[in-house]
Chains A and B, each alone.
Chain A
Amino acid sequence: MDRLKGIIKKEFYHIFRDKRTLLILFGIPIVQIVLFGFAISTEIKEVKIALLNQANDEASHTLVDKILSTSYFQVDELIQNEAGINESFKKGKIKAALVIPPNFESDIRKNNTANIQIICDASDPNTGTQIGAYLEGQIQGFIYGNAQKSKGIRPPIQINTEIQMRYNPELKSAYSFVPGLITIILMLICTMMTSIAITREIETGTMEVLLASPMHPATIILGKVIPYLALSFTIAIFILFLGKFVFGVPILAHFGLLIFEILLYCLVVLALGIFISTIAKTQQLALMISLFALFLPTMLLSGFIFPIHNMPLPLQMVTKVIPATYFNIIIKALMLKGATLAEIWKETAILGGIFIFLVGVSIKRFNIRLG
């Protein structure tokens, strides 16, 4: 017990001596949360469009005014011919173009019909189609409004849908980004710190000294992990409160349960760090594995940015081995839905399983290395 205390003390001393790293560790989450809570938004607004109005008559002007009456679209330039549209797209100046053919008004009068073209930059398919659909909606609104004015018709059946957005009624992106960032930041900080804490000792040769001491390897590992557990936990709580007080992201679940789940996740990612340190011989390799190999996959496969249920089936299987996937579900359910253990026991059990697996494999590999 005294020996364990000794190692913990030593490791804490290591952490606190390095003030710059500590500053970085707490600075990173602050800047990231603030930046992304405020900056990242999936809402479409102020889209720059080009207008090729070949008609220039009254009806076309009314239509354009209607489209521009919302804050969603801005005319970036008035274009004279089709080639100009291509030019603007290639320079990346506009996202969509609206083409009104010559004789727009007289076509409507004579034939009761006219054609309009919406051209979208679909090189980014998601944004492109969203903008296209929105423009189309605006034009349809114009047509419908016009029809009502002139003839007073109404559709024979009317189905309205009352929509209730639960858990995030204002569709704030901070609500999904703050819990997601807790997942990602903990993952990377914890794995990086522990993986390096052990490889550092191996690289500088002090590990031999430790191992030659009469301590059990498990004591050594435990002593190394506990300080980092305390540190990661502090960082997690820190982010949690930052999210709550800066963005008003709610924390609806029972606080004790939340603490338990965060501790569990910290343990899992710390164990991952230890596992990496049993593979990597140098600090550089350990850091490259924890950072380069984990950064994009955790971000893209954990459901942080892209919904998992959209992915092809084999890839959905891959997401199932990533601990962040489960914690992402857990923390969102806890913070935003106020979930109870009964609702997240499955994810919790899997995280527990991953923890036991990682510890088991690490101990085995560690023993091989000693031999």
Chain B
Amino acid sequence: MERFKFILQKEFKQIFRDKGMLPIIFVMPIMQLMVLSFAATFDIHNINLEIIDKDQSPVSHQLISKYEASSYFNIISNLPYDADNGESLQKGEAVIILEIPKDFEKNIIQSQPTNLSAKVDAIDGMSAGVSVNYAQSIIRDFQDDYIQEHGLLLGKPSMNIKISNLNWYNNSLNYKFYMVPGLLVLLVSMIGMFLTSMNIVKEKEIGTIEQLNVTPITKAEFIIGKLFPFWCIGMFVLSLGLTLAKLVFDIPIQGPLYIVFAFAMLYLFVVLGLGLIISTLADTQQQSMFIAWFFMIVFVLLSGLFTPIENMPGWAQDLTLLNPVRYFIEIMRNVLLKGASWADVKMNFYIIGIYGVIINSLAVLLYRKTN
């Protein structure tokens, strides 16, 4: 026990000695949480729209004023002719070019079908789809208003089903409620994994590992001594992050918070274990960082935070089952926003618990091999 205390003391000292690292460990994640939460939104507005109004009629002006009034669109130019032929798309100035044909008003008055055309910059397929939906919803609104104003309804609909669309768990559709806890998970994971993955390999590189190996400490003591300080740092950053999330972003906490913390304790064990494995396998700090970064980018993009897991092909969905980040993000979302209880999320605990045991046994095993 005495010996173990010394190991911990040494590890803590090593971390806190490097004054340059302290802001990276404690300030950087919190700063990123505060700033990046504002960036991560799919809430689309200010879509740059160019209108080519070949009709120049009162009716076409009515449609255009609908676009002007909408906060989704930002009309960058309104021309009576298509002089540039898609140039503003090419230059990236406009996302949509909407063309109103010459006989727009005439067709509408005569109840003839009329065709608008839209050219869309679809490089980013996702926001292109959403932008087009918004553009069309304005046309639909225009259509409905026109029908109401002119009382042109021919016949009466045979059934009228009222659809009420309810948004549970986040009815104000606040993107930050979803993103802040998710980003916090990413940041805590990154710190844990990057720091541990560099740790043993650093001792290898500067040669101090030899000194440790001749001391009478056991492998398990060694590994736990390496893990524990980073585990504390991870828990600290998580607590700090959650506190700020509540104070700054007013993140709802519907379920019992102890579930989140209990899960984090197990979770960090997995992430740190992964870092240790990388550290024992790598020859240089640089190598270990590349490997850690590689895993991290895979974990982040397959976590379901930025793109839903349900949208992925089957094999990728199966792959996410190996991703620890996925389980933590699920816990955050289910407990904080939906108020899930232990019974709802116990599967995640079992999985991550077993995961932790496997990973850390592997870490001890591989560490032995390197000696």
Contact = CB atoms under 8 A, between A and B. Distances in A.
A92 B173 CA distance: 18
A126 B175 contact: yes
Contact of A297 (B32, B123, B315): B32
A208 to B, nearest CB: 17
Nearest to A329: B92
Interface in B106-133: 108, 111-129, 132-133
A155 B153 CA distance: 7
Nearest to B147: A156
Contacts of B89: 166
A167 interface: yes
A125 B174 contact: yes
A89 B125 contact: no
Contact of A162 (B116, B154, B178): B116
A166 B118 CA distance: 10
Interface size class of A (residues with CB under 8 A): 35 or more
Interface size class of B (residues with CB under 8 A): 35 or more
Nearest to B178: A124
Contacts of A146: 158-159
A161 B122 contact: no
Nearest to B348: A92
A159 B141 CA distance: 11
A293 B109 CA distance: 60
A153 B155 CA distance: 6
Contacts of A68: none
Contact of B162 (A115, A300, A336): A115
A120 to B, nearest CB: 5
Interface of A: 18, 20-21, 24-25, 27-28, 31-32, 35-36, 38-48, 87, 89-92, 95, 108, 112-129, 132-133, 136, 139-140, 143, 146-147, 150-169, 171-173, 175-176, 184, 188-189, 192-193, 196, 200, 280-285, 287-289, 291-293, 295-297, 299-301, 305-307, 309-312, 315, 318-319, 329, 332-333, 336-337, 339, 343
Q: What are the 5 closest A-B residue pairs judged by CB atoms, nearest first? A: A171-B125, A39-B316, A122-B167, A156-B152, A42-B126
Interface of B: 18, 20-21, 24, 28, 32, 35-36, 38-48, 86, 89-92, 108, 111-129, 132-133, 135-136, 139, 142-143, 146-147, 150, 152-171, 173-175, 177-178, 183, 186-187, 190-191, 194-195, 198, 202, 205, 282-287, 289-294, 296-298, 300-302, 306-308, 310-313, 315-316, 319, 330, 333-334, 337-341, 344-345
Given A42-B307, A125-B174, A128-B170, 20 more contacts: A24-B294, A39-B315, A39-B316, A45-B311, A46-B310, A89-B168, A122-B168, A123-B338, A126-B43, A157-B152, A159-B116, A160-B113, A161-B116, A162-B115, A164-B120, A196-B285, A200-B286, A284-B202, A307-B127, A343-B92
